[in-house]
């Protein structure tokens, strides 16, 4: 990790510090991905089968997962993992259930009543990347709010293993989240299938979930064709603000838990306590040797930065400019710092709030804005799975009270027919 020292080097001010992020130019893949999408649009299941054979190295008899596979898979999963998934699911359910918005009718003027009603998006698609240890936790993070929102059709696509199976934890998490339509399709072909529909896989209105650069590019391309997506994607990242009360080994463990995600992950430590920096470095070296994804984490640390600032206020400025996906405030009275954070995906307060607790089980959602998108985007929540449809009821009294206002504004905008629609109702009386 390189150090940016704003404490001793006073020529750069905190507000002007732009921490460089690893850049990925997704546009490079546009043509390649667009060609696959076009083929899926035309050839549908035939194209899915072709690319599953080509990219996943599996010839599947059946894209859909059968009830028998689900039952057998789930039976093979350890009780321990099942219990962990159950507890995580319970917490995720609790937190997202509380995001339900009751209908509030507002009578803005006598006889004019306005309200919003949240209605689940009818058809949503969830993409879960594959591999020997697939991210089944993401199934809970997407499937549970979809179920609370009342989405009628929830489609899950995830690539099969080499033997054509899915990991039992994927099947169990899907079952806990109430997902019934599971398809063994990965990569660009999964995104294309859900965007356009095939003979087997239903078309959806919104696609959620993480993925590699091909999947991300495919999501961007179908977005331009009118399919909604959860949010733009970039490499995962954590930022930690630490003071002298922080435990250097806890800090190092959090930095590494982010760094192990991928070589393009980024971790940032901001502190005004110069003394903690060498202690964190020692712990990083020590703990790095204990993890299986050491190579990946080492590469990510090369993209990463320690910022030594002059004071707490400057730490807040740097953190807000960076707009981290995950922000851990590992300080005394973390709430006083959190109050001043305006850009972050999710904030973890205190010495015990490891990012991984939120990643799996505290109840908050782990699908969060990366790459500085936290300046404008929220993470996934119940909101992401509903449309809030506005309603208005206008009575005879209501239109009388507002007629002059509407007619005046419509005329001033040169829209006669807008004015007429009101005057004709009032004069008809």
**Catalytic positions:** 325-326
3-state helix, strand, coil in the chain (%, to 5): 45, 15, 35
Per DSSP, the residues of 364-400 read: S------TTGGGT-----GGGGEEEEEEEEE-HHHHH
Of 61 and 104, CB closest to its own copies: 104
- Draw the binding track, 291-330, toward its own copies (x: CB under 8 A; -: no contact): xxx---x---------------------------------
Of 54 and 392, CB closest to its own copies: 392
CA-to-CA distance for 244 and 240, rounded, in angstroms? 13
CA-to-CA distance for 71 and 79, rounded, in angstroms? 15
Give the dihedral sign, CA 291/292/293/294: positive
Of 279 and 394, CB closest to its own copies: 394
Residue 332 in the binding site for its own copies (CB under 8 A): no
Q: Which of 20, 25, 80, 199 binds its own copies (CB under 8 A)?
A: 80
CA-to-CA distance for 272 and 309, rounded, in angstroms? 5
Q: What is the 3-class SS of 150-210, one letter each residue?
A: CCCEEEEEECCCCCCCCCHHHHHHHHHCCCCEEEECCHHHHHHHHHHCCCCCCCCCEEECC
* CB of 244 vs its own copies, minimal distance in Å: 17
Of 120 and 192, CB closest to its own copies: 120
CB 221 within 8 A of CB 188: no
- Draw the binding track, 203-242, toward its own copies (x: CB under 8 A; -: no contact): --xx-------------x---x-xxx---x----------
E strand or H helix at 106: strand 106-109
Closest by CA to 325, choosing from 266, 254, 272, is 266
Q: Which of 3, 12, 94, 332 binds its own copies (CB under 8 A)?
A: 94
Q: Which stretch binds its own copies (CB under 8 A): 5-13, 89-97, 176-184, 307-315?
A: 89-97
Largest CA distance in the chain: 83
Name 213's Cβ contacts closer than 8 Å, sequence gap at least 6.
24, 26, 29
For residue 272, give both structure tokens. Answer: 């005004």
Q: Footprint of its own copies on residues 105-164 (CB under 8 A)?
A: 106, 108-109, 112, 114, 116, 119-123, 132-137
Q: Footprint of its own copies on residues 336-395 (CB under 8 A)?
A: 338, 341-365, 368-369, 371-379, 381, 383, 386-395
* CB of 229 vs its own copies, minimal distance in Å: 9
Of 139 and 308, CB closest to its own copies: 139
Q: Footprint of its own copies on residues 395-424 (CB under 8 A)?
A: 395-396, 398-399, 402, 404-406, 408-410, 412-422, 424
Of 10 and 292, CB closest to its own copies: 292
Q: Which of 161, 165, 200, 287 binds its own copies (CB under 8 A)?
A: 287
| # residues near its own copies by CB under 8 A | 133
Q: Which stretch binds its own copies (CB under 8 A): 4-12, 68-76, 157-165, 286-294?
A: 286-294
CA-to-CA distance for 247 and 271, rounded, in angstroms? 13
């Amino acid at each position: 990790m390189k150090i940016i020292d704003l404490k001793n080097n006073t020529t750069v001010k905190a507000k002007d510090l732009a921490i460089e992020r690893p850049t990925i130019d997704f546009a490079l893949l546009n043509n390649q991905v667009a060609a696959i999408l076009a083929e899926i649009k035309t050839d549908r299941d035939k194209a899915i089968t072709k690319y599953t054979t080509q990219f996943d190295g599996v010839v599947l008899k059946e894209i859909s997962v059968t009830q028998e596979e689900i039952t057998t898979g789930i039976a093979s999963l350890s009780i321990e993992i099942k219990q962990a998934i159950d507890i995580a699911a319970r917490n995720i359910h609790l937190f997202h259930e509380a995001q339900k918005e009751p209908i509030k009718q507002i009578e803005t003027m006598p006889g004019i009543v306005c309200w919003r009603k949240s209605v689940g998006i009818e058809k949503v698609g969830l993409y879960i990347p594959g591999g020997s240890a697939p991210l089944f936790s993401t199934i809970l993070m997407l499937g549970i709010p979809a179920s609370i929102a009342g989405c009628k059709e929830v489609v899950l696509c995830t690539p099969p293993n080499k033997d054509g199976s899915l990991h039992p934890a994927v099947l169990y998490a899907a079952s806990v989240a109430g997902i019934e339509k599971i398809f063994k399709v990965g990569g660009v072909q999964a995104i294309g299938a859900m965007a356009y529909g095939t003979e087997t896989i239903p078309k959806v209105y919104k696609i959620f979930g993480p993925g590699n650069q091909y999947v991300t590019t495919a999501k961007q391309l179908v977005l331009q064709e009118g399919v909604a997506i959860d949010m733009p994607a970039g490499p995962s990242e954590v930022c930690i603000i630490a003071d002298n009360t922080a435990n250097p080994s806890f800090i190092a463990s959090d930095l590494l838990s982010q760094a192990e995600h991928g070589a393009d992950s980024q971790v940032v430590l901001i502190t005004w306590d110069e003394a903690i920096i060498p202690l964190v470095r020692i712990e990083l070296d020590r703990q790095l040797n204990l993890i299986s994804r050491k190579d990946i984490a080492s590469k990510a640390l090369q993209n990463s930065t320690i910022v030594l600032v002059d004071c707490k206020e400057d730490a807040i400025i740097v953190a807000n400019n960076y707009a981290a996906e995950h922000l851990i405030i590992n300080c005394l009275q973390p709430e006083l710092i959190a109050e001043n954070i305006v850009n972050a995906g999710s904030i973890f307060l205190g010495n015990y709030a490891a990012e991984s607790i939120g990643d799996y089980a505290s109840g908050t959602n782990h699908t969060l804005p990366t790459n500085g998108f936290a300046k404008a985007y929220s993470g996934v929540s119940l909101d992401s799975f509903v449309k809030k449809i506005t309603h208005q009821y206008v009575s005879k009294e209501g239109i009388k009270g507002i007629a002059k206002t509407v007619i005046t504004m419509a005329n001033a905008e040169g829209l006669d027919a807008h004015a007429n629609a009101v005057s004709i109702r009032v004069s008809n009386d």
